[in-house]
């Protein structure tokens, strides 16, 4: 941005204080004192410049503040003297287009001020003072707030659409058999434990490995706690969707209770299991759930154990998983912790 240079030596008291200096009376007449006063009162960026050379005859306090100026420093100068060349050129081109068309013309401008990106819609209206001198009145509207609302609305609609598709898929799955939990669409605990027994037997016979993961919800945010059961149901739906999306057909996932889940990864070792669960943890942490118009997120802790590296029986594998999960919670949650490998036991097995 160009250096403003020294201020005029004949500044009035209002100029020295930084308040907007009123434009000459011949400018006030056609544009209206009330409009200019209201722009300042509402904090609306407003500027008036001559059509011939683009020099400002009035700017509101909000307009001057937007570019790190005071109104008295702006009046009498042009965009080329005040702003970065690229922005000054863009504004001048838009000014010329409005003057050529002779009608109100809105134009969007994107620029940086002090390293901060800004987006404004500028409405240019051609007017004239009492002597017939053409003027350009520019009303600036910040687009950040409406764009943010649009993005939030789109995110909420996308979330709703994903949840509807997930609910439809869940209903189709549950129509086939009654082995799944209604809220999450995951296997019931009894069916999961049967699968774990079969996996343990198969892995023992074929000398292959598998991984077991215990997952627990971390402390919920205040918004979710206040929403009660509705928030818990939405979390269960989200976890069911994420677990189904991050596991294969040969794997199995279940909901143990309101706070806990479990995953069986067939034919997978500790390193691969940790990598996949770390990816799942990150996905969970970025989830945005909406209940009764309230947005909230949640995190989980995970404990990962494997057969035969960390344990050799079902009880031992489950115990190792729970110990790793407890360690993840002790570290503050939102963690994936691997169970300790019992090297002595593994060495005896290999002998």
The per-residue pLDDT string of the chain (351 residues; one tens digit each, 9 = 90 and over) reads 444 444 333 333 444 445 555 555 454 444 455 566 666 666 778 889 998 899 998 888 888 888 888 988 889 999 999 888 989 999 999 999 988 888 888 988 888 887 888 888 899 988 877 777 888 888 888 887 777 788 888 888 888 888 888 877 776 666 555 677 777 888 888 889 999 999 999 999 998 999 999 999 999 999 899 999 999 999 999 999 999 999 998 999 999 888 999 999 999 999 999 999 999 999 999 999 989 888 999 999 999 999 998 888 989 999 999 999 999 999 999 999 999 886 554 444 434
- Quick one: tokens of 260? 């806990």
Hey, what CATH topology would domain 13-142 get? Beta-Lactamase (3.30.450)
pTM here? 0.51
CATH 3.30.70.270 residue window(s) in the chain: 147-350
The per-residue pLDDT for 260 is 94
- Quick one: tokens of 313? 């029986």
The per-residue pLDDT for 30 is 46
The per-residue pLDDT for 158 is 84
Nearest to 273, CA basis, from 319, 243, 306: 306
CATH 3.30.450.20 residue window(s) in the chain: 13-142
The per-residue pLDDT for 40 is 63
Q: Which helix (H) or strand (E) holds 55?
A: none
Nearest to 198, CA basis, from 255, 269, 250: 250
In the beta sheet, which residues pair with residue 294? Answer: 291
Hey, what CATH topology would domain 147-350 get? Alpha-Beta Plaits (3.30.70)
- Quick one: tokens of 240? 């069911």
Is the peptide bond prior to 266 cis by the omega test (within 30 degrees of 0)? no
């Amino acid at each position: 941005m160009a250096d403003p240079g020294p201020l005029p030596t004949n500044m009035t008291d209002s100029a020295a204080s930084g308040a907007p200096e009123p434009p000459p009376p011949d400018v006030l007449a056609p544009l209206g004192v009330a409009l200019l006063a209201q722009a300042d009162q509402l904090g609306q960026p407003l500027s008036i410049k001559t059509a011939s050379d683009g020099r400002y005859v009035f700017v509101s306090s909000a307009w001057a503040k937007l570019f790190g100026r005071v109104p008295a420093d702006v009046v009498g100068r042009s965009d080329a003297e005040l702003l970065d060349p690229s922005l000054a050129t863009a504004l001048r081109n838009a000014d010329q287009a409005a003057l050529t068309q002779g009608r109100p013309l809105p134009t969007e401008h994107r620029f940086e001020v002090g390293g901060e990106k800004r987006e404004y819609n500028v409405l240019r209206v051609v007017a004239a003072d009492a002597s017939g001198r053409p003027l350009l009145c520019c009303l600036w509207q910040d687009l950040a707030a409406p764009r943010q609302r649009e993005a939030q609305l789109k995110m909420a609609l996308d979330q709703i659409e994903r949840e509807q598709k997930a609910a439809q898929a869940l209903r189709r799955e549950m129509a086939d058999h009654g082995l799944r939990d209604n809220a999450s669409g995951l296997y019931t605990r009894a069916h999961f434990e049967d699968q774990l027994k079969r996996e343990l037997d198969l892995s023992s016979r074929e000398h292959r490995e598998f991984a077991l993961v215990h997952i627990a919800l971390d402390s919920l945010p205040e918004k979710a706690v206040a929403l009660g059961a509705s928030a818990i149901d939405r979390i269960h739906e989200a976890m069911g969707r994420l677990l189904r999306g991050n596991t294969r057909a040969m794997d199995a996932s279940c909901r143990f209770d309101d706070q806990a889940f479990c995953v069986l990864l067939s034919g997978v070792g500790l390193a691969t299991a940790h990598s996949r669960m770390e990816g799942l943890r990150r996905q969970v942490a970025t989830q945005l759930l909406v209940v009764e118009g309230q947005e909230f997120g949640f995190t989980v802790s995970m404990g990962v154990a494997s057969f035969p590296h960390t344990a050799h029986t079902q009880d031992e594998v489950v115990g190792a998983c729970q110990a790793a999960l407890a360690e993840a919670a002790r570290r503050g949650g939102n963690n994936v912790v691997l169970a300790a490998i019992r090297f002595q036991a593994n060495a005896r097995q290999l002998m």
